[in-house]
Chains A and B, each alone.
Chain A
Amino acid sequence: MRSDRHTRAPLRLKIAAGIGLAFLHLPILLIFLYAFTTEEKSYQFPPPGLTLKWFAVTWNRPDVWEALGLSVRVASISTVVALTLGTLCAAAISQTRFFGREAISLLVILPIALPGIITGISLRSAFNLAEIPFSFWTIVLGHATFCVVVVYNNAVARFRRMSGSLIEASMDLGADGFQTFRHVILPNIGTALLAGGMLAFALSFDEVIVTTFTAGQQATLPIWMLEELVRPRQRPVTNVVAMVVVLVTFLPILAAYYLTRDGDQISGQGK
């Protein structure tokens, strides 16, 4: 609140903001609501009754566990791949100067700007050409393409704020490359990597488009949900799973937001 004149928004603006928020969040609340409904074949409003039994049903369905397990594994390994490649890319781009640096930086970011369907089609044809059978690993590769970008963006921003002479100072004080990475670079970019990794995990966890092109018979959790909605049997199970997905993706994104926000104090020390 910088000035008293702006402390009270006009009523009409408040209503507009309320409508906007409702538009964004009511559908999500509906999903939560229908996780508790007693009617399992169609979504009628209002729900005829409320029950907790779908949580038990979900818990006992092996296909849910299978899909969840696959999603978690894919997201974890994509994140690890992204952390490695993204950090290396960011280090190369920000610590050295070479011809075409900006172009390469753009090429690294491009996959996230490309529509997922293009990434999906191109990967599918590439896998076909190389005669790679669709498997767990093709899904991971597909996800890694955009996960790398998220890590890269976070890491490169932190690298830019880190004074280049810190690395030289460390070497000067007797630390070799590995020691410098461990004692100076990692502590300074650690929170950025954690934030990037969490975002990458969340992105991978709810990815549908690229996955449909790169998965074989396996279904990740989002794909499973899509399939489940088609047949009207135990529908609220899908809603229960949706709640879980919201929690699993929302919490890391929230944490990533707080981590990068505080990052200023960690490496933004001025001269």
Chain B
Amino acid sequence: MPHAVSFQKVSRHFGSVRAVDAVDLEVEPGEFFAMLGPSGSGKTTCLRLIAGFEQPTSGHIEIFGETAEGVPPYRRNVNTVFQDYALFPHLNVADNVAYGLMIRGVGGTERLREAEAALEMVKLPGYGARKPGELSGGQRQRVALARALVNKPKVLLLDEPLGALDLKLREQMQDELRLLQKSLGITFVFVTHDQGEALSMADRIAVFNHGRIMQTGTPEEIYRRPKTRFVADFVGSSNVLSPALTQRLGGPAEWASLRPEDIRLSTEGAEAVVTATSFLGSATRVTLDLAGEKLTVLHPAGAPVPAPGAKVRIAWDKAALHLMGPEA
């Protein structure tokens, strides 16, 4: 079976800017795939390359085994949920959802029936007669989702789908999107800059930086075994230890990552000075100065919190120190 999406040495340059730089990427059928990275890292351009809004400067793209270069967006069996939803303001919700069917020549009653079914799937039954302007942000997003899914795409692309929603709604939509994806079995590719979102929703994640993929793997792999300093820092704000510090703490002279929740304040081990504390609710983040380098510790709630200026000792399981090599 071919890959759902495959990039071979794909580049997209805008003048002298290498938005996407020799990217190799494989998304498997039925996968929930996240493209994670800071803004300007090339993740959105990759999404647009799959949708067909951009053409690669060089390289080769396949969607389910079919060459995608030169194929316009309207001939690809791929649909997009846009960041700003891009609902047609002059059409009501039902006609928005039925737009793709209307273009394909599906008859009026048939397409309205399918549109209503799609609206039911995103839990907006009976909203067909409303105009997009009368809906809340969360509802507009559901309509955008229904409008894309009604076409039964082989790949659904989502551009920062939850970016504009408030926290509670975002968590709810995360669960719903995942359930929907699993029940439909459609390949989802979504772009996000929120590592929490990527970790909780995706089957696999590609971490982007400067137009390149730094690492691809399951959320667990990315989180536990980052390959580079960038990934360690960007995905879950891990402590990145310089080779000198790693050596001082008894390891080899390599870059290392040490998760804040893996460090505990103890009676023995390396000595550090508390520089700041901040209460997070379920834990307290303690910032330490360890031989001139900054280190953060997630200190569980309930235990006494040391005051800034206090000297503490820190310890961790040997396995928690993840080595990334001398040149990470």
Contacts from A to B (Cβ < 8 Å): 163, 165-166, 168-176, 179, 183-184, 187-188, 265-271
Contacts and interface: CB of A to CB of B under 8 A. Distances in A.
B74 A269 contact: no
A269 B133 CA distance: 6
Interface string B61-104: 00000000000111000111011111111110000000110111
A226 to B, nearest CB: 45
B90 A169 contact: no
Contacts of A175: 74, 99, 103
B100 A173 contact: yes
Contact of A187 (B73, B90, B102, B147): B90
22 contacts: A165-B84, A165-B86, A166-B86, A168-B51, A168-B73, A168-B82, A169-B82, A173-B147, A173-B148, A173-B151, A174-B104, A175-B74, A175-B99, A175-B103, A176-B72, A176-B74, A183-B102, A183-B103, A267-B90, A269-B87, A269-B89, A269-B132
A12 B53 CA distance: 63
A269 B88 CA distance: 9
Contacts of B84: 163, 165, 271
Contact of A172 (B79, B85, B90, B137): B79
Given A179-B103, A271-B164, A171 B89 contact: no
B65 to A, nearest CB: 21
Given A175-B74, A176-B74, A265 B133 contact: yes
Contacts of B51: 168, 172
Given A166-B88, A168-B53, A173 B99 contact: yes
Contacts of B100: 173-174
A184 B53 contact: no
Interface in B31-55: 51-53
Contacts of B164: 271
Contacts of B90: 187-188, 266-267
Contact of B73 (A172, A269, A270): A172
A9 B90 CA distance: 42
Contacts of B74: 171-176
A242 B53 CA distance: 55
B151 A174 contact: yes
B99 A171 contact: no
A134 to B, nearest CB: 44
A205 B276 CA distance: 76
Given A172-B74, A265-B133, 20 more contacts: A163-B86, A169-B82, A171-B53, A172-B51, A172-B79, A172-B80, A172-B148, A173-B74, A173-B79, A173-B148, A174-B103, A174-B151, A175-B99, A179-B103, A183-B103, A188-B90, A269-B87, A269-B89, A270-B133, A271-B164
Nearest to B89: A269
Contacts of A163: 84, 86
A72 B197 CA distance: 63
Contacts of B86: 163, 165-166, 168-169
Nearest to A270: B133
Contacts of B151: 173-174
Contacts of A171: 52-53, 72-74
Counting from the closest, the 7 A-B pairs by CB-CB distance are A169-B86, A173-B100, A165-B86, A269-B89, A171-B73, A187-B90, A269-B133
Contacts of A188: 89-90
Nearest to B140: A271
A115 B87 CA distance: 43
A170 B132 contact: no
A163 B151 CA distance: 23
Contacts of A179: 103
Interface in B112-130: none
Contacts of B85: 271
Contacts of B148: 172-173
A270 B134 CA distance: 10
